[in-house]
C-alpha cells in the first residue's frame, strides 16, 4: 500500500503525482465556473461575445476614428481585435485566478487537494472565453474577406505564450493575495492601465524606436505583436528583440510563480 | 507495541505552532512592508526583528505520538481547543506540521465539514460530481456510485433542483451521501453528526459501523459521547495539545465524562437564525438554582434564550445523559407541546418530576429544531451538568455492594421483589419514600426509648 509521508519543512515528493491524480478536478472547476457564470442571466453565453465586441467598437472609434492612428492599410477593427484577443484573455485570467484562492478560502481550510488546481482552472475558464472570442475573429475576417498569411501556423506558439503569461502572473498574484489582500486593489488597477500601456488599440510600431526596447519590457507587447504578425501578416511585422524579451519574461514568470506557490501552498490554510 | 507493518496512521512527535498576532503585527498589509523597506531599510529590518519577538507562539499540538493500526476505530475526545481539530487537519493534509512526521497508509477520506465545495447555483446532480471530484473521486467512480449516492441521500425528486433551494437537512444529507461513498481505507470524521435530523444521524452512524465492520480505520471526533461509545474501541483523550490518556474507549469515556466541567454561563448561538441560548439554569425541587439534587427530587431545566429573529414551530428536546449514555428525555417532537414561536428574550423550562436517578453525575443536553423538526438550530451536547447526591440507605437500600451505584445503570423506577416465601419488598427512589422512611426510623427510635 502506498505510504504517504507528511513532514515539516519538506515539500511532498508526491506533489506532481498528486496533481496528476487530481487532473479531473481542473476540468470540474472550470466546468463549474462556466456553468454558474451565466445562470440567471437573460442572454447567457452571448455575454462572452458582447463584452469583446463593445470593447472593439469603443477602441476602434477612439483610436481609429477620433485619434486617427494609422492602421497600415488594415481594417481598424481587425487590428484592434487581434490585440484585444490576447489582452482580454490575460486581464480576465489574472483577475479571476488572482482572486481564486481567497474566493475558495473555505474549501482550502476544509479539504485537501493540490491548491494549484484552483488557480490553473480559473485560467482555463478564461481560456474558454478566449476561444469563443477567437471564433468571432474568424467571422470578422470573413466579413472583411481577409485571408491570414502563412505564418498563422505559428499562432499556437503565441497562444501558448499568452497562457504562460496569464498563468505565471495569476499564480503569483493568487499566492500573494492569500497573505496580502492589497492585491485585490492592485489587480483592477493593472488591468485598467494595462489596456492603454499595451498596444491593444494601436500598433506598437507607433512607439518611437528609441523607446521600443523599453516598451517591450511589458511582456504583453511581444504577445500582441505576435498575434498581429500571425493573423494580419507582413503589414504588422514582428519586433524580434521585443519578442525575445517576452519569451524570457514569460518563462521566468511561470517558473518563479510555481516555485513561490509551492513554497507557500502548505500554509495557505493557516493564513487564509 | 504493534508491529511496524500494521499501522494505518503513525504520528511521530508531531507539533503544530501557530503564530498569534502575526497578521496584526503587519496589519497594514503590504503597504507597510514596502513603504517601511523603502523609507529606512535598516530601521525596517530592525523593527521586523522586534516584531518577531513580540509575536506570540502558540502550540496547538506538541509532542504528539499516536499509532493507529489498520482496522482500529478510534474516538478522539477533548474540550474545544484541545488540539483535536488541528490533528485532523494535519492528517487530512490541509496544513502541515511544524515538527515531527506523519506516515499514512491508504486512501484517506476526511469529513471535516460535509458539503464543502457545494455550489448553491448548481443542481444536486451537478454538485455530486463537483463535490466528489474535490474529495478525490474519479469521474468514472462517481458515475458508478451515482445511484447509490442519490438513494442514500433520499432526495431523488430534487436531484435536478439547485441546492440553494434545498432545506438545510436535504443539503447535509446529500453532502454526507457523497462523502460516505468515497470508499477510503481511512476515514476521518469531525462532528458531522452534529447536523441533520435524528433519523439521518442514525443512518450516518450505521454507515460508519459498516465501514468499521469492513475493517477500515476510523478516526472519529464528536462531542456526542453516545456515538463515540457505540462506534469506537479505543479512545484518545486530548488536552492542551497533548495526548492526555489513551486506552479502551469505555474507560476513557467514563473518565472523561466524570471530569468534564460545564460552565453554566456558556452561551450557544446560531448566527444563521440569530438565536442564542444565553444560559441554562438548573433548579432543585424548591426552585433554588442548584447543581445537585437528591434521588427522587424534582429537577427543573430552565432555558433562557434570545431569539432576535422569530423562530417558527420550535421543537425543544432536553436529554439527560448519564455515564452509560442518554437515560431520560423530554421531547417536543414526541409530545407536540411546542410553543408557536420564540421571539425576543425569554425563558422556557421543563420540570422533571421525581427523577429516579442513582447518585451519579449527569449532563443535560438541549437541542432546538424548527421547520417540522428538519432544521437543527442549536444542538448543545453539554448544556449543563448536575450531580445526584444522597445516601441510598435513606431509601431502604441495604445491599453490601451499594458502592456499585456509582457505575450502575442510573435509572431506577419503583419496583417490587416478590420472594419465594411470599415476602414483598418494594423499592423506590421517590423522595417521599425517603421522607417516610426517615420518619419511620425516627418513630422507631422513639418507641424503643
The string of DSSP codes covering A173-184 is HHHHHHH-TTHH
Instruction: Please report residues of B whose CB lies closer than 8 A to that of A35.
Output: 121-122, 126
Which runs of consecutive H residues, i.e. helices, occur in B99-235? 124-134, 139-153, 168-180, 198-213, 225-231
Minimal Cβ distance to A1: which of B18, B33, B105: B105
In whole angstroms, give the CA distance from residue B149 to residue B168. 18
Q: Do A24 and B133 touch (CB under 8 A)?
A: yes
Q: Do B94 and A109 touch (CB under 8 A)?
A: yes
**The three cell numbers locating residue B306:** 434570545
Residue of B nearest to A37 (CA): B121
pLDDT bracket for residue A258 (50, 70, 90) = very high
Cβ-based neighbours of A18, under 8 Å, separated by 6 or more: A12, A114
Q: Cα Rg for chain B, rounded, in angstroms?
A: 27
Asked whether the beta carbons of B358 and B388 are under 8 A apart, the reply is: yes
Minimal Cβ distance to B31: which of A21, A110, A182: A182
Beta strand ranges found along A23-76 (DSSP E): none
pTM recorded for the entire structure = 0.71
Protein fold of B263-449: Coagulation Factor XIII; Chain A, domain 1 (2.70.50)
pLDDT bracket for residue B264 (50, 70, 90) = very low
Q: Which residues of A touch B (CB under 8 A)?
A: 1-8, 21-22, 24-25, 28, 32, 35-36, 39-40, 106-113, 180-183, 266-267, 269-271
- Closest Cα of chain B to A127: distance in Å? 20
Instruction: Please report residues of A whose CB lies closer than 8 A to that of B102.
Output: 5-7
**The three cell numbers locating residue A242:** 521585443
pLDDT at B446 over 50: no
Residue of B nearest to A268 (CA): B95
Q: Is B44 exposed, middle or buried (0-12, 13-18, 19+ CB in 10 A)?
A: middle
In whole angstroms, give the CA distance from residue A94 to residue A195. 13
pLDDT bracket for residue B81 (50, 70, 90) = confident
Instruction: Please report residues of B whose CB lies closer than 8 A to that of A17.
Output: none
pLDDT at B266 over 50: no
Reduced to 3 states, what is the DSSP secondary structure of residue B321?
strand
Q: Do A7 and B29 touch (CB under 8 A)?
A: no
Q: Do A269 and B89 touch (CB under 8 A)?
A: yes
Q: Do B139 and A24 touch (CB under 8 A)?
A: yes
pLDDT at B196 over 90: no
Question: pLDDT tens digits for B276-335?
Answer: 888 888 888 888 888 888 888 899 999 988 888 888 889 999 999 887 788 899 999 889
pLDDT bracket for residue A90 (50, 70, 90) = very high
- Phi, psi angle pair for A20, to nearest 5°: -65, -40
In whole angstroms, give the CA distance from residue A112 to residue B110. 9
pLDDT bracket for residue B24 (50, 70, 90) = very low
Hey, where are the domains in chain B? 263-449
Hey, where are the domains in chain A? 15-34+43-271
Instruction: Please report residues of A whose CB lies closer than 8 A to that of B105.
Output: 1-4
- Closest Cα of chain B to A122: distance in Å? 15
In whole angstroms, give the CA distance from residue B13 to residue B62. 7
Using alpha carbons, select from B190, B240, B138, B112 the residue that is nearest to residue A269.
B112
Mutation site, B59, B64, B96, interface A, largest A CB count within 10 A: B96
Using alpha carbons, select from B287, B289, B360, B285 the residue that is nearest to residue B320.
B360
What's the whole-number mean pLDDT along residues B363-385?
83
Q: Do B103 and A5 touch (CB under 8 A)?
A: yes
Q: Do A107 and B139 touch (CB under 8 A)?
A: no
What's the whole-number mean pLDDT along residues B181-194?
78
DSSP string, B237-274: EEETTEEEEEEEHHHHHHHHHHH----TT--EEETTTT
Q: What is the pLDDT of residue B197?
A: 64
pLDDT bracket for residue B35 (50, 70, 90) = low
Q: Give the A:B interface size as CB pairs under 8 Å.
A: 100
Instruction: Please report residues of B whose CB lies closer than 8 A to that of A33.
Output: none
What's the whole-number mean pLDDT along residues B341-370?
90
In whole angstroms, give the CA distance from residue B26 to residue A180. 10
Residue A50 to residues A41, A43, A126, A136, Cα–Cα distance (Å):
13, 10, 15, 10
Q: What is the pLDDT of residue B443?
A: 42
Amino acid at each position: 500500500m502506498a505510504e504517504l509521508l507528511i513532514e515539516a519543512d519538506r515539500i511532498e515528493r508526491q506533489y506532481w503525482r498528486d496533481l496528476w491524480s487530481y487532473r479531473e478536478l481542473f476540468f470540474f472547476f472550470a466546468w463549474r465556473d462556466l456553468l454558474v457564470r451565466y445562470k440567471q442571466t437573460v442572454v447567457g453565453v452571448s455575454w462572452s461575445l458582447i463584452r469583446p465586441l463593445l470593447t472593439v467598437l469603443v477602441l476602434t472609434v477612439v483610436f481609429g476614428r477620433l485619434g486617427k492612428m494609422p492602421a497600415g492599410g488594415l481594417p481598424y477593427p481587425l487590428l484592434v481585435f487581434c490585440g484585444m484577443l490576447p489582452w482580454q484573455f490575460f486581464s480576465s485570467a489574472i483577475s479571476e485566478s488572482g482572486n481564486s484562492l481567497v474566493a475558495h478560502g473555505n474549501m482550502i481550510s476544509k479539504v485537501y487537494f493540490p491548491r494549484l488546481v484552483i488557480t490553473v482552472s480559473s485560467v482555463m475558464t478564461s481560456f474558454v472565453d478566449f476561444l469563443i472570442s477567437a471564433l468571432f475573429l474568424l467571422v470578422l475576417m470573413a466579413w472583411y474577406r481577409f485571408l491570414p498569411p502563412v505564418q498563422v501556423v505559428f499562432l499556437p506558439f503565441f497562444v501558448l505564450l499568452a497562457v504562460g503569461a496569464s498563468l505565471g502572473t495569476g499564480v503569483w498574484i493568487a499566492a500573494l493575495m492569500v497573505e496580502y489582500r492589497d492585491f485585490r486593489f492592485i489587480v483592477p488597477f493593472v488591468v485598467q492601465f494595462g489596456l492603454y500601456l499595451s498596444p491593444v488599440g494601436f500598433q506598437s510600431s507607433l512607439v518611437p524606436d528609441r523607446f521600443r526596447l523599453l516598451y517591450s519590457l511589458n511582456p504583453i507587447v511581444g504577445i500582441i505583436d505576435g498575434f498581429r504578425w500571425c493573423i494580419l501578416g507582413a503589414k504588422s511585422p514582428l519586433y524580434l528583440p521585443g519578442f525575445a524579451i517576452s519569451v524570457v519574461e514569460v518563462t521566468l514568470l511561470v517558473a518563479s510563480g510555481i516555485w513561490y506557490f509551492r513554497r507557500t501552498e502548505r500554509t495557505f490554510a493557516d493564513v487564509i | 507495541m504493534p508491529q511496524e507493518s500494521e499501522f494505518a496512521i503513525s504520528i511521530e512527535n508531531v507539533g503544530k505552532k501557530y503564530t498569534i498576532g502575526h497578521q496584526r503585527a503587519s496589519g497594514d498589509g503590504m503597504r507597510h512592508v514596502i513603504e517601511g523597506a523603502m523609507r529606512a531599510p535598516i530601521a525596517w529590518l530592525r523593527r521586523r526583528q522586534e516584531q518577531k519577538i513580540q509575536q506570540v507562539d502558540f502550540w496547538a499540538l506538541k509532542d504528539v505520538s499516536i499509532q493507529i493500526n489498520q482496522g482500529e476505530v478510534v474516538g478522539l475526545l477533548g474540550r474545544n481547543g484541545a488540539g483535536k481539530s488541528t490533528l485532523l487537519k494535519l492528517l487530512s493534509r490541509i496544513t502541515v506540521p511544524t515538527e515531527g512526521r506523519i506516515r499514512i497508509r491508504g486512501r484517506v477520506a476526511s469529513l471535516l465539514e460535509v458539503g464543502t465545495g457545494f455550489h448553491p447555483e448548481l443542481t444536486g446532480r451537478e454538485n455530486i460530481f463537483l463535490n466528489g471530484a474535490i474529495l478525490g473521486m474519479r469521474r468514472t467512480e462517481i458515475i458508478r456510485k451515482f445511484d447509490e449516492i442519490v438513494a442514500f441521500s433520499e432526495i431523488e425528486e430534487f436531484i435536478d433542483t439547485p441546492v440553494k433551494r434545498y432545506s438545510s437537512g436535504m443539503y447535509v444529507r446529500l453532502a454526507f451521501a457523497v462523502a460516505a461513498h468515497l470508499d477510503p481505507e481511512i476515514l476521518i470524521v469531525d462532528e458531522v453528526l452534529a447536523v441533520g435530523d435524528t433519523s439521518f444521524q442514525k443512518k450516518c452512524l450505521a454507515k460508519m459501523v459498516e465501514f468499521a465492520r469492513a475493517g477500515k480505520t476510523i478516526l472519529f471526533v464528536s462531542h456526542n459521547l453516545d456515538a463515540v461509545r457505540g462506534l469506537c474501541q479505543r479512545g484518545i483523550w486530548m488536552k492542551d495539545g497533548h495526548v492526555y490518556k489513551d486506552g479502551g474507549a469505555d474507560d476513557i469515556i467514563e473518565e472523561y465524562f466524570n471530569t468534564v466541567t460545564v460552565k453554566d454561563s456558556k452561551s450557544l448561538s446560531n448566527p444563521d437564525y440569530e438565536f442564542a441560548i444565553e444560559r441554562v439554569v438548573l433548579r432543585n425541587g424548591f426552585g433554588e438554582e442548584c447543581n445537585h439534587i437528591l434521588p427522587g427530587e424534582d429537577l427543573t431545566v430552565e432555558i433562557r434564550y434570545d431569539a432576535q429573529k422569530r423562530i417558527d414551530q420550535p421543537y425543544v428536546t432536553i436529554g439527560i445523559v448519564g455515564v452509560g449514555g442518554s437515560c431520560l428525555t423530554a421531547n417536543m417532537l414526541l409530545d407536540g407541546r411546542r410553543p408557536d414561536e420564540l421571539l425576543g428574550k425569554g425563558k422556557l423550562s421543563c420540570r422533571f418530576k421525581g427523577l429516579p436517578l442513582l447518585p451519579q453525575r449527569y449532563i443535560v443536553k438541549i437541542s432546538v429544531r424548527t421547520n417540522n423538526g428538519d432544521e437543527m438550530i442549536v444542538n448543545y451536547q453539554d448544556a449543563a451538568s448536575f450531580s445526584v447526591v444522597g445516601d441510598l440507605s435513606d431509601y431502604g437500600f441495604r445491599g453490601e455492594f451499594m458502592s456499585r451505584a456509582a457505575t450502575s445503570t442510573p435509572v431506577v423506577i419503583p419496583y417490587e421483589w416478590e420472594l419465594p416465601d411470599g415476602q414483598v419488598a418494594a423499592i423506590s427512589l421517590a423522595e417521599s419514600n425517603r421522607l417516610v422512611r426517615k420518619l419511620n426510623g425516627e418513630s422507631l427510635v422513639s418507641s424503643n426509648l
